[in-house]
Amino acid sequence: MLIPRSHPRAESLHIREKLVRGFQNGLVVEEGLLAHGRGEMFDYLIGEKTSKSSHEAIKASARLLLASEHPVISVNGNFAALCAKEIVELSKITGAKIEVNLFYASEKRKKAIARVLKKNGAKEIFGINAKFSKRIPNLDSARRIVDSRGIFSADVVLVPLEDGDRTIALKKFGKKIITFDLNPMSRTAQTADITIVDNVIRGMKVLINTCKKYSREDFTKKIKFDNKKNLEESILEIKKNLRRMSHA
Ligand code: PTJ
């Protein structure tokens, strides 16, 4: 569908089109379309822009990624459909490995996602060779199967559009978790070390630009970030937007 640039919701409709194309190309599952709909609703509530609190979370994430020894970017269907180019760029800037890790796992979809990432310049993709599979304890979903060279041995994992159970299991397993989640009240948002309450398609671009401004050497000091407080700020921003909308 051709969406005119002047359409008041052009950006959000373009994002939706991208996801639908990802579904048609076998990257995204049906459940991913539902998850996106939920995300769209929260995106509307945050004003479809990167908020002040999200900028703070992005700065802390950039610092943590650059300071870490073994960062990994975990990729699911939605993330690949929306941000394949940005995933590869972030991986190059931060030295993070890229691992495909799916909730609704299938070999066919893993391969399709890996293909798209390679087409966008990724050299190596983890999570697609069963020879290196390991299990994360305390987790039932397919997401417990990870790559021994990737998430299993990571210190920091970026896990966008995540389910709460895996965030909790990864945390118990000693990983620092950064997530993108448009819902500041979700279990993942509330459990992660850093939650970026933003649409991954906008937030990834800001994260990449922020990483470009920093250098690895800047981050020997401990990173201080109060995720709970920052999430409260996000919720306050939503309340303010709601008040503005109801008075418009
Ligand atoms: O590709 P798979 O098999 O790994 O499956 C991926 C999905 C997304 C289907 C799976 O992880 C899932 O069901 O996720 P949930 O539990 O629905 O959680 C998705 C969260 O991401 C929700 O809180 C949404 O509000 C949020 N979300 C949706 N779209 C975006 C988003 N957050 C940031 N950017 C988005 N574009």
pLDDT digits (tens, 9 = 90+) for 23-54: 999 999 999 999 999 999 999 999 999 999 99
pLDDT of residue 247: 79
Q: State the pLDDT at residue 142.
A: 80
Per-residue model confidence as pLDDT tens digits over 61-81: 999 999 999 999 999 999 999
- Split into its structural domains, the chain has a count of 1
Ligand 1 atom nearest the C-alpha of 188 is 23
**DSSP secondary structure string, 20-33?**
HHHHHTTSS-HHHH
Atom of ligand 1 nearest to the CA of 182: 32
* Percentage of the chain modeled with pLDDT above 70: 94
Q: Which of 234, 237, 170, 203 shows the shortest CA–CA distance to 61?
A: 203
- Per-residue model confidence as pLDDT tens digits over 129-181: 999 999 998 888 888 999 999 999 999 999 999 888 889 999 999 999 999 99
For residue 141, what pLDDT is reported? 80
Averaged pLDDT for residues 207-218 = 85
| Residue 68 belongs to some domain of the structure | yes
Whether the CB of 197 sits within 6 Å of ligand 1? no
Ligand 1 proximity of 78 Cβ (cutoff 6 Å): yes
Q: Are β-strands 156-158 and 125-126 bridged in parallel, bridged antiparallel, or unpaired?
A: unpaired
CA-nearest residue for atom 11, ligand 1, is 162
The single-letter code of the amino acid at 96 is A
For residue 41, the ligand 1 atom closest to its alpha carbon is: 25
Has residue 109 been placed in a domain?
A: yes
* Strand pairing class (133-135; 125-126): unpaired
SS3 154: coil
Q: What six digits make up the tokens of 86?
A: 């940005």
pLDDT for residue 110 is more than 90: yes
Q: In this predicted structure, what is the pLDDT of residue 165? A: 87
Q: Please check whether residue 43 lies inside any domain of the structure.
A: no
The reply to whether ligand 1 has any atom less than 6 angstroms from the CB of 104 is yes
C-alpha distance from residue 37 to each of 13, 20, 34, 116, 198 (Å): 12, 11, 5, 23, 14
Instruction: Assess whether pLDDT exceeds 90 at residue 223.
Output: no
Assess if residue 64 is contained within a domain: yes
Domain containing residue 63: 52-215+224-240
- Whether residue 139 is contained in a domain is answered as yes
CATH number, domain containing residue 188: 3.40.50.12640
Asked whether the predicted pLDDT for residue 102 surpasses 90, the reply is yes
Would 101 be classed as within a structural domain? yes
Best residue for ligand 1 mutational test, from 18, 78, 110 (most atoms within 8 Å of Cβ): 78
Q: How far is the CA of 57 from the centre of ligand 1 (A)?
A: 19
Residue 15 domain-assigned (yes or no)? no
Torsion-angle region of 178 (φ positive above 0: left; ψ -120 to 50: alpha; else: beta): beta
Q: What is the mean pLDDT of the chain?
A: 93
The angle formed by the CA atoms of residues 42, 46 and 48, to the nearest 5 degrees, is 90
What percent of the chain lies above the pLDDT cut of 90? 81
Residue 106: which pLDDT band, with cuts at 50, 70 and 90? very high
